[in-house]
Amino acid sequence: MSRSTTQTPNFTLLLEITEQTIRELGCNKTTLQEIMNRSGLSKGAIYHYVKSKDELFALVLQAKMQEINEKFNEAVEKATNPEIDVPLQAITENLLPQIVDETHISNIIFFYLLAHKDTPRIKEILADMHNYSIQLSTKWIEIGQQHGVIPKELDARKTAAQFFTYVYGLRVQRMISPNAAPPVTKEQLFSLFYHTLKGHSN
């Protein structure tokens, strides 16, 4: 899949249709047949863009991550720009929930892929996704440290990892009992985060 391929209208369509279908039917019931019907693309066409159904799903997930990344970079730019006074907490309030509270599609795809991790390609994508998240989070902590909001002696990367452990836990819990656990509030998340920070040097 070349770079240029990524921008093909049909490929974009494919991704959108897939996302929409997963949203409606869930991953398991989203068959190639359904995607074919909805998109008008043929099986051959789909497999021209993508090596497997799982990879297709993974690409949808990646696209979602891209979006978050862009928003993050914008926020970072503002935060690091001394001219603009954006407290770190603002980032937390706007951005973190998106990462955590993924009731939406990313979460569904994520756990679908997790169950298919015996496919090497999937495992790889999953690991990438994880590293990417950690990276994002790390950077964010570092900025906090620069601003003096987070103690500088912390290992940013380790802290990020710790934090994400909890986030994963929250996601699982939400999947198991969606109503039992109320959606995480900004406040909870924030306090949790600082708690993680202070607690462990691990």
List contacts with a second copy (CB under 8 A): 26-29, 111-112, 114-118, 126-127, 130, 161, 164-173, 175-177, 181, 188, 195, 199-200, 202
Query: Do 101 and 178 form a contact (C-beta atoms < 8 A)?
Result: no
Residue 42 contact, options a second copy, DNA, none, Cβ 5-8 Å cut-off depending on partner type: DNA
Nearer to a second copy, 6 or 131 (CB): 131
For position 10 contacting DNA by CB under 7 A, the verdict is yes
For position 123 contacting DNA by CB under 7 A, the verdict is no
Query: Do 58 and 105 form a contact (C-beta atoms < 8 A)?
Result: no
Report which of 173, 137, 171 is spatially closest to residue 157, judged by C-alpha positions: 137
CA distance 163 to 196: 6
Residue 71, helix vs strand vs coil:
helix
Residue 17, helix vs strand vs coil:
helix
Structure-token match 């070349």, residue found: 2
For position 12 contacting DNA by CB under 7 A, the verdict is no
Give the Å distances, CA to CA, from 170 to 52, 98, 112, 113, 147: 30, 13, 17, 18, 28
For position 145 contacting DNA by CB under 7 A, the verdict is no
Residue 139 contact, options a second copy, DNA, none, Cβ 5-8 Å cut-off depending on partner type: none
Q: What residues between 52 and 111 interact with DNA by CB under 7 A?
A: 52-54
For position 49 contacting DNA by CB under 7 A, the verdict is yes
Which of 23, 24, 26, 43 contacts DNA by CB under 7 A?
43
Q: Which residues bind DNA (CB under 7 A)?
A: 2, 4-5, 8-11, 29-34, 40-45, 47-49, 51-54
